[in-house]
Copies of this chain bind each other. A is one copy, B any other.
Amino acid sequence: MPAPLDFWFSIGSPYTFLAVMRLSEIAERAAVEVRWRAFDARAIQVEANDAPFADRPLKATYMWRDIERQAARFGLTVRLPIPYPLAEFERANRVAALAAGEGWCPAYAIASYRHWFVDREPAGGEPNLSASIREAGQDPARVLGLANSEAGIATLDAATNEAREIGIFGSPSFVADGELFWGHDRLEDAIAWQHNLDQGNPG
């Protein structure tokens, strides 16, 4: 069997909401195994001078309307407007990177986005942070102690370096055997690509 599909994401990216909420079900239906990989997309975008929505009010307004329409199409509840950008972007993703290593990343990421997009509580900040950790079955004190330690910071940095080396430039991204797909709009394509790999067919 080839390696699983890598799902590279940062909590804080608005479009990533759609991918985080939909990925598990779609992957399961296709019998595709997914590795959740949190990284710091903001750091990479700053390096590339590529903040697609900053200082572009028309595009930002469009983005929220588009997300609202897409969410409705997929039956996902959202209560816009929500706080944006996230003040505690890094902390949200340090916990996600730690969670990825410990095996409870999907539950944490889904809870973070739900509290952010439905309850309007910024991800990475309280009360969202501790509630999301708890909903993933973990103890907030333990997790936050680890996430804020040097090792916790290094875990996210290492993931971001790995993403950078692959050539990832935004969230969400999907990598199937070196083939990169960017954006929620490519979720189904990435799953199909991985499914073909798993079946032993060339992409």
Contacts and interface: CB of A to CB of B under 8 A. Distances in A.
A56 B49 CA distance: 8
Contacts of A162: none
Given A59-B169, A169-B56, A186 B48 contact: no
A167 B185 CA distance: 22
A104 interface: no
Given A59-B169, A62-B169, A65-B180, 12 more contacts: A48-B56, A48-B59, A52-B52, A56-B169, A58-B167, A61-B167, A62-B167, A62-B180, A66-B182, A73-B189, A183-B185, A185-B185
A56 B50 contact: yes
B69 A169 contact: no
B182 A62 contact: yes
Interface residues of A, number: 24
Contacts of A50: 56, 59
Interface in A34-65: 48-50, 52, 55-56, 58-59, 61-62, 65
Interface of A: 48-50, 52, 55-56, 58-59, 61-62, 65-66, 69, 73, 167, 169-170, 180-183, 185-186, 189
Work out how many copies of this chain go into the complex: 2
Contact of A66 (B55, B58, B65, B186): B186
Contacts of A167: 58, 61-62
A9 to B, nearest CB: 17
A115 B69 CA distance: 36
Contacts of A170: 59
A178 B182 CA distance: 28
A151 B126 CA distance: 60
A59 B182 CA distance: 10
Nearest to A173: B62
Nearest to A166: B58
15 contacts: A48-B56, A48-B59, A49-B55, A49-B56, A50-B59, A52-B52, A58-B167, A58-B169, A59-B169, A62-B169, A62-B180, A65-B180, A66-B182, A73-B189, A185-B185
